Every structure is written in structure tokens, then in C-alpha cells.
Amino acid sequence: MRIRFALIAAALVLATVPVTNQSAPTALTVVSSNGFQAALEELAPRFERDKKHKLNVTYDLAATLKQRIESGMTFDLAVLTPAAIDDLIKSGKIAAASRTPLARVGLGLAVRAGAHKPDLTTADAFKRTLASAKSITYVKEGASGVAFAGLIERIGLADALRPKTRLAATRDEVGEIISRGDADLGVLPVSEILTLRGVELGGRFPADVQTYIVMVAGASPKSAQSPAVQELVTFLLDAQSTSVIAAKGMERAK
């Protein structure tokens, strides 16, 4: 009888011990480039529902978030451009082993809703479209803006486009300029164009001149071994997340 009571007591004690291969609910601080915002805004609620962890997400330009992290901003996981992540690894702000490519997105031209779609069928058509536009806008400090500035320099259009270029500070400002009719074309990652009101995707850059903005995840050194952070990265790489990423104009990084 004493043995029986002892076994029952032991079973009751074991029932109260938490399962060690499951992480307790955690609140994670995530910082993400605007380029991944459309996907993460849909995926975050699914992750919270399925994994029971809370996500507190801040979106901004990758360059701005990098500067904030360098200045001491606390975070668990960052989703930024490769250059930003690699610089933060060098400075010890991100754990090198946590570096994980998530997705990439090509550049596109934004036009006012209902406007005629530009001809982007070939590289030559793309060049003619840019040259004939009355005005163009893009984010000066954004990864897409930097890439576009480099592209038009390579294809010999930088001097011709400079007088009719209106530089913006944010993606939303590009959308406002286009929707008001103050510029004919806006250059942004496709995933960002799809989120703007009063604006439509005029088309993606032709393959010959396409530039991809890659989104890479990296964890802070203090969070790299966190089960919750590892669950989030795994979730962002699974098949269901891949379908959401594709629907938002992105694809898996190659």
C-alpha cells in the first residue's frame, strides 16, 4: 500500500513538471526592414496563434534600423539587408551563426492607380520608359533607391534622369507623390508597392536589369539560443510562410 501511494505521489509530481522541449510563451522584439513588412504583417498573427509567443515588431528602413541597433537598441531578431546584417555581425550586435536568408524581392515601377502601365517587356523598353517619363521618385536612403541609382548609372541614364528625379524619405512618401500625380513613376521593391494606397504595380524590372533586395534574419547574441527565436526563424522558413511570401511579391532567397 505504501509503495502504491508513493507511485501515485511521484506521478502527480511529474505531471506538474514543464516539458523541457517546449519553450514557455515569450514576448519577442523584432525589427524588420520595410521590404519584409507585407509578409511579416500577415505571418506574425499566425505565429502568435500557433506558437503562443508575442511579437513586438518595428518596421523601418534597413539603414535606419541598423543605426538604431548600433546605438544600443535592444532586439531579439532583426530582418535586414545582407550588408546591414553583416556589418552588425562584425560589430558584435548579431550572432554570426544566426544569419539566415529569408527571401528576396525584385524592384518594380509604381504608377498611379488606373494609369497606363509602362512598357517593361525588355531592357531597351525599360530604358525608353524611364527616359520618356516626366518625373520619377524613389527613396534616397532605401536599399531599393541605392540599387536603382547604381543601375541607372550602369545603363547610362543617370545624367538624363537627375533633373526629373524627386527623392523621397520613405516608401509612404513615394506612394503619396505618385497618388497625387506629382511623379509618373516610383521605384520600390514589388512587395512595398503592393501595400500602397492609390498606387498600382506598373510592372517588374526586366530580368536583364533586375536587382533583388534580399532579406536576412539575424538574432542578437543574447537571443540566438532562445527557443522562441529559433521557433520564429523556423516558422518563417516553412512551406506555409513561403506561400505568403510569394503572395506578397517575394520569393525565397537563392
pLDDT classification of 16: cutoffs 50, 70, 90? very low
Average pLDDT over residues 187-216: 96
pLDDT classification of 8: cutoffs 50, 70, 90? very low
Which pLDDT belongs to residue 11? 38
CATH homologous superfamily of domain 27-104+214-247?
Periplasmic binding protein-like II (3.40.190.10)
Which pLDDT belongs to residue 3? 39
What would be the CATH architecture of the domain defined by 105-212? 3-Layer(aba) Sandwich (3.40)
pLDDT classification of 253: cutoffs 50, 70, 90? confident
Which pLDDT belongs to residue 26? 86
Please state, rounded to an integer, the average pLDDT across all residues of the chain.
91
Average pLDDT over residues 150-158: 96
27-104+214-247 shares its CATH topology with 105-212: yes
Instruction: Give residue-wise pLDDT tens across range 89-135.
Output: 999 999 999 999 999 999 999 999 999 999 999 999 999 999 999 99
pLDDT classification of 23: cutoffs 50, 70, 90? low
Give the residue carrying C-alpha cell 545582407.
Answer: 82
Q: Supply the pTM of this predicted model.
A: 0.82
Domain ranges of the chain: 27-104+214-247, 105-212
pLDDT of 24 > 80? The answer is no
Average pLDDT over residues 158-164: 96
